[in-house]
Every structure is written in structure tokens, then in C-alpha cells.
Chains A and B, each alone.
Chain A
Amino acid sequence: GQQVMQIPQYQHVQEGEDFTTYCNSSTTLSNIQWYKQRPGGHPVFLIQLVKSGEVKKQKRLTFQFGEAKKNSSLHITATQTTDVGSYFCAGVTASGTYKYIFGTGTRLKVLA
């Protein structure tokens, strides 16, 4: 079936290091959203990307949507302990029955 895989599954970084998570879909997506889930919390919307090749920035976070609209990335510059949590991508399939698929997630730990 249609899948959205994220790599890496886990990442430990030293505070101040950069971090990137990659999101790869088996099918073309109409758009992609990114969510952050703090430990013990619920997913919280971060950003939406719609256009092929789109790049958006939120302070230290940079989001990119691939040209083929099948992949995306989230890059955090100079991580802080407040960045700890799981990051999920999610998107709507571009064709067929409406389907909103979440990625498998990347769990980030930041060591002080």
C-alpha cells in the first residue's frame, strides 16, 4: 500500500549540532505537512508545503518539498534542548480516493 517512510528513525545530537529528517512517499502527494510531538504530548502542526520545490523557513527550521512532490525534508540548524521530540511528515495523496498519510516519524534527542 501507499507508505510514507522517514529516516532516520532515531537521532541523538549534541546541542548546537544540525539535524535533518527525510520523508519519502511511495506516491505523489498534493501537499505535505510537518508536525512535532513533544514527549508525552500530541502532534502539533508546524508548516504546510504545497508547491513543487517549495522551501520555507521558520527561525532555525527549514522545510523543503521535492520537485516530484514525493519527498520532503526538515532541517534544524543549531539544535536546542527544546527541539526534543518526534517529527512527523504527513500528506494527501495526489490521486485516487482521498488519503491522508502520516510518515513513520523521527525521534530527536538533544544532549546538553
Chain B
Amino acid sequence: DADVTQTPRNRITKTGKRIMLECSQTKGHDRMYWYRQDPGLGLRLIYYSFDVKDINKGEISDGYSVSRQAQAKFSLSLESAIPNQTALYFCATSDQRRQGGDTQYFGPGTRLTVL
């Protein structure tokens, strides 16, 4: 969905480096999410945020941190990248104020490779 953008789209880095992935949305949605997807697996939730002052851990938050800088921006950091964090990362948004508010709208993804 073009209303949710992610930068960078691809990144190759080395073990131990700090990496930040950024997500922006113009949908005006209140909720934002970070997922990772590994080959052959579904989407696993890393962190989610229901509003600017609310941050919650997902099922695989270890090794990651997030920041909700504004309603429209949600960034994901890998403090010290390791090879098993190589994956496809998706940002998503939803709007709980609307009917069907659990529906999520995804960005194009960031392919991260940690060497």
C-alpha cells in the first residue's frame, strides 16, 4: 500500500552494527506494527504501538527496540545485528477507530541481510 512507506528497502550490514528501519504512513491510522517474515514462515510480531505514548512487545522483541516519534512514524532498531536477524521486515498500520479496525495495511517491506 503506497500510504505506508519503509526505508530502506534493502540493507546489507555486518554483525554487531546498529541498524534502524523506518516506517511512515499517511493513512492517519493510530496503530502501527513491526513484523518479521522468514522464508516459509508466517509473520511474527516484534513490537506494536497503539498511539504515540504506547509501545508493546510482540512475540519476538528480544534484540529489537522501537520508537514512535509521531503518529505517522514508527522506527525499528537492531542494537547489535546478528545473522539470525536476516529476514524480511514489514511495517503495518491499522485504525481501531473504524469499523473493521483490526485490518492491517502493510508497507512494501525491508529486506535485511546481516553478514
Q: A-side interface residues toward B, CB under 8 Å?
A: 1, 6, 9, 30-31, 33, 35, 41-45, 48, 88, 90-92, 100, 102-105, 107
Bound Cα distance A45, B106 (Å): 9
| Number of B residues with CB within 8 Å of any CB on chain A | 22
Q: What is the count of residue pairs linking A and B with beta-carbon distances less than 8 angstroms?
A: 51
B103 x A33 contact (CB < 8 A): yes
Please report whether the interface of chain A is mostly helix, strand, loop or mixed according to DSSP: strand
Q: Main secondary structure on chain B at its contact with chain A?
A: loop
Distance in Å from the Cβ of B27 to the closest Cβ of chain A? Answer: 12
Q: Give B contacts to A, CB under 8 Å.
A: 1, 33, 35, 40-45, 48, 59, 90, 92, 100, 102-109
> What's the Cα separation between A37 and B27 when bound, in Å?
21
User: Which residues of B have CB within 8 Å of A43?
Assistant: 43, 90, 92, 104, 106
Are the C-beta atoms of B90 and A42 separated by less than 8 Å? yes
Which residue in A1, A6, A45 is a CB contact (below 8 Å) of B59? A1
Are A48 and B103 in contact (CB-based, < 8 A)?
yes
Say whether A42 contacts B43, CB under 8 Å.
no
A-B residue pairs in contact (CB < 8 Å), sample of 27: A9-B40, A30-B102, A31-B102, A33-B102, A42-B1, A42-B90, A42-B107, A43-B43, A43-B92, A43-B104, A43-B106, A44-B106, A45-B104, A45-B105, A48-B100, A48-B102, A48-B103, A88-B43, A92-B102, A100-B33, A100-B48, A100-B102, A100-B104, A102-B43, A102-B45, A104-B41, A105-B42
Given the contacts A43-B90, A44-B106, A48-B103, A104 and B42 also touching, CB distance less than 8 Å: yes
- Contact indicator A88/B1 (Cβ below 8 Å): no
